[in-house]
Structure 1
Amino acid sequence: MTKLLLIRGLGHSGTTILDLALGAHPQMVGLGEAARILERPAPADGDRGPARLRGELRFERRCTCGAVAAQCPVWGPLLEWLPAHDHWSLAAKMHRLLEGLERVRDPQQAPPAWVVDSYQDDFVLPFVQDPKLEIRIVHLTRDVRSWVHSRARRGREQGRWLPGLRPALRWCRTNAHHDRLLQRGPHPVLRVGYEELALEPEATLKRLCRWLDLDFSEQMLQPGSYSQSHVLSGNRMRFDPERSAAIRYDNAWMARPSGAAELALAVPWVAELNRRLVYSAAGDARKR
């Protein structure tokens, strides 16, 4: 039975670095934002990466395995196959990708214990119940103050009254929705805070490995050096040797805290949600 680990959370919450760290474990392989690539592009999305990867972009964009996408042993055949099969369901296309991963595996090596998909932002869960898969979900959440600061410093927020208000509202609305969805869902869920991961990477990754019934590997602390992931879609830091060499915390928000985020934390249910999703490592795994 294939074991599929889904990392889910808002964009810019550390999903790519966690994918790379997990892919550095000898018994795991990461596929990046696989669901984003597999989803059928809408007519208005023709200029976006997932649609273009079905065409000329696959001969330009590199996979983290080092090969151009068209020559990647995992993604190359699938990207050629996708245009004629975009009417297939996302779950069926994901199975096709997993089958391709199995075909390129070295027969002298054991199959990976877990395959990782780290699709962010839109909360896509391609499987509800699938007898061929064991599915677990990591819900990765970044502190509202840190996340809002990273969004508020983008160009579209400059010059707004109370910059960060819209990102703060989005953090609250989206994370509350995700939390309710996962609590009602059929799959085991582990909450991981970006702050916990970045400030205490070894302790956090050890906790995650225990939850996945794996031994911890020191290689996970150096994602850029050891990752075996095949990531085509994700944060561009995956190709930055300095940023991907280790898991580090971006503490820029502490110098210029977002007023909107501070106001949001004054609301009791927001403060409780932030604490529970980001800082509740002890005993917060849910298994059924």
Structure 2
Amino acid sequence: MTAGPAPAKVLFVAGTGRSGTTILSTILGQLPGAMAVGELRYVWERGFLEDHRCGCGMPFSRCPVWTAVVDRAYRGEGPPDPVAVSRDLLSRLRILRIPSMVLRQLRGRPVVPPHPHDERIAALYTALAELEHPAVIVDSSKLPPYGKILERLPGIELYVVHVVRDPRANAFSWRRVKVTGDRDDDATMERLELWRSSAMWVVWNYLVEFWWPVERGRTVRVRYEDFVDRPREAVERIARLLDLDASRTPFVGERSVSMQPTHTVAGNPNRHDRGLVTLRPDEEWRRAMPRLHRVVVSLFTLPGLRHFGYSLRG
């Protein structure tokens, strides 16, 4: 009896936006055998519909890697309706659905209800594995419910990196104006009110811990502050989890990385960085964040502050 193809090993980088997930994912994608694809849950909107730049610099529609992957995934017939898939994902991943997701899990049912589009999503990962042959696909889609969709897709073996950042730094970053660099315009990234970014920080981080506890053996937690302080150590730890060669990291110093172009489809603007990149702690919030804003975020996130090892005084 002939064995079927080995499942695609997917590293799901989970947490909240503006927590350093993009730079960590991009560095991991430099490891031999790993491929960073960015936030692949957004490919339907930002790739197929809006034709944002791939991490390689080409528009998504002209990137040779993604052209080949899409052709392989959908047998030359083109992708399913990207508007429908994008709308479906937006609906199924909403934070307001969390209570029903938890209830479904307690009843032994799939956390996120299955949908016919799931097969189309799985086809992209399978085609990536078949064409690019990465030992690990690094997907920084972050949202825990999307990770639960991936977890039950056929042909995927899921691992998780949970990235946590001080919620005050996270909220401050969400208020910054950032040009995406994805198109030839001045489009900026989404900005969130303090209460909304704080609520997301609490819900998403606790859900990641609830659904993928470190004790299960396929999850590692990384605090942003520890990562930028000792990035090589963090990357080597994750590489060992994935059975990648931890001795062949892209570091040329303790904090400097030699970055090659990736094929990421969405994420923070630093996914476009290449050449020598030096990691530095982003501590601007400590001197620039208004005291009232700090107090508001601290109160919103108080249980999580202590739980994830952050001081109330910041």
| TM-score after normalising by structure 2 | 0.66
2:60 corresponds in structure 1 to 69
Aligned positions of 1:138-157 closer than 5 A:
138-153=161-176
Q: Distance in 2 between matches of 1:254 and 1:118?
A: 27
* SS of match in other structure, 2:141: coil
Q: How far does residue 68 in structure 1 lie from its aligned partner after superposition?
A: 2.7
- Counterpart CA distance in 2 for 1:222 and 1:63 is 23
Shift of 1:149: 2.0
Contact between 2:34 and 2:136, CA under 8 Å: does it hold in 1? yes
Question: 1:207-241: per-residue Cα shift (whole Å, max 9, x none)?
Answer: 111222222223156556235x3112111122244
1:100 to 127, 131, 136: 127
CA distance in 2, matches of 1:83, 1:188: 32
CA distance in 2, matches of 1:172, 1:5: 22
1:171/1:98 CA distance change after superposition, 3 Å: closer
1:7 to 4, 13, 16: 13
The sequence identity of aligned pairs, in percent, is 26
The 5 Å alignment of 1:3-152 reads 3-38=9-44, 50=45, 53-55=47-49, 57-58=50-51, 61-77=52-68, 78=70, 81-84=78-81, 89=116, 91-105=118-132, 111-121=133-143, 123-125=145-147, 126-130=149-153, 132-152=155-175
Q: Secondary structure at the match of 2:150?
A: coil
Q: Which residue of 1 aligns with 2:99?
A: none
Partner deviation per Cα, 1:114-143 (whole Å, 9 max, x = no partner): 111111356412233456332111111111
Say what the alpha-carbon RMSD is for the aligned residues. Answer: 3.3
CA distance 1:181–1:218, change in 2 (3 Å):
closer
Q: What is the rounded CA distance, in whole Å, between the counterparts of 2:144 and 2:153 in structure 1?
A: 21
Given that 1:139 and 1:190 are in contact with CA atoms closer than 8 Å, whether structure 2 keeps it comes out as yes
Do the aligned partners of 2:250 and 2:258 also contact (CA within 8 Å) in 1? no
Aligned ranges for residues 217-232 of structure 1 at < 5 Å? 217-219=248-250, 225-227=259-261, 229-232=262-265
Whole-angstrom distance in 2 between the partners of 1:74 and 1:185: 36
Q: Offset at 1:164? A: 3.5
CA, structure 1 residues 18+64, in 2 after alignment: closer, same or farther (shift >3 Å)?
same
Q: Deviations over 1:79-135 (max 9, x none)?
A: 872235866745423332233324543xxxxx3221111113564122334563321
How has the CA–CA distance of structure 1 residues 223 and 64 changed in structure 2, closer, same or farther, with 3 Å as cutoff? Answer: farther
Is 1:205 the counterpart of 2:202? The answer is no
Residue aligned with 1:245, SS: strand
- Equivalences, count: 247
Which residue number in structure 2 is paired with residue 285 of structure 1?
none
Q: Structure 1: how far apart are the matches of 2:27 and 2:136?
A: 13
Residues 33 and 5 of structure 1, relative CA distance in 2, 3 Å threshold: same
Whichever residue aligns with residue 133 of structure 1, its letter is I
8 Å contact from structure 1 (residues 17, 223) kept in 2: no
- Equivalent residues of 1:33, 1:232 under 8 A apart: yes
CA deviation map 1:132-168 (0-9, x unaligned)? 332111111111121122234569xxxxxxx845433
Q: Which moved further from structure 2: 88-97 or 132-141?
A: 88-97
Does the aligned pair in 2 maintain the 1:21–1:222 contact within 8 Å? no
Cα distance change of structure 1 residues 171 and 154 upon mapping to structure 2, 3 Å threshold: farther
Q: Cα distance 1:223–1:83, how it changes in 2: closer, same or farther (>3 A)?
A: farther
CA contact (8 A) 1:168 1:261 kept: no
User: Deviations for 1:3-46, whole angstroms, at most 9, x for unmatched residues?
Assistant: 111001111111111111011111100111112224xxxxxxxx
Give yes or no for contact 1:6–1:135 (8 Å, CA) kept in 2.
yes
Distance in 2 between residues matched to 1:90 and 1:187, nearest whole Å: 30
CA 1:226/1:23 → structure 2, altered by over 3 Å: closer, same or farther?
same
CA 64–261 in structure 1, closer or farther in 2 if over 3 Å, else same:
same
Say which SS state the counterpart of residue 78 (structure 2) adopts: helix
CA shift for structure 1 position 265: 4.6
Question: Which of 214, 218, 221 is matched with 2:244 structurally?
Answer: 214
Note the alpha carbon deviations across 1:170-198, whole angstroms, 9 max, x for none: 42233223322334997822111111111
Asked if residue 194 in structure 1 is aligned to residue 224 in structure 2, the reply is yes
